[in-house]
Structure 1
């Protein structure tokens, strides 16, 4: 899948629109940050469960 399609699929906008609109960039970056933090929490839980057994 191309980067353009991935961007559109994940955030509903293409790179051209992302690059042109500051509000859209901020929204996308906030979504990325939330996804990252959620992934970190899941990873921490998984690691804790591995060592508890």
Structure 2
């Protein structure tokens, strides 16, 4: 995969590490993926709440 400067900037801003650090250590990858999963779950919950309010 081609890693672009925009992707690097987003990784730095969001996870405070570069892509090279992300790739280098399993511990770093696990932290990032846990954060991503938590964010995804939070967004799904918010969407379900909004959907529930719309269909009342």
Please report the TM-score for the alignment, with normalisation by the length of structure 1: 0.94
Give the structure with the larger helix fraction.
1
Q: Name structure 1 gaps, 5 residues minimum.
A: none
Tell whether 2:14 aligns with 1:32: no
Please report the TM-score for the alignment, with normalisation by the length of structure 2: 0.89
> Across the two proteins, how many residue pairs are aligned to each other?
52
| Aligned with residue 14 of structure 1, among 18, 21, 24 | 18
Runs of 4+ in 1 over 4 A off after TM superposition: none
User: Could you say what the CA RMSD is over the residues aligned between the two structures, in angstroms?
Assistant: 1.1
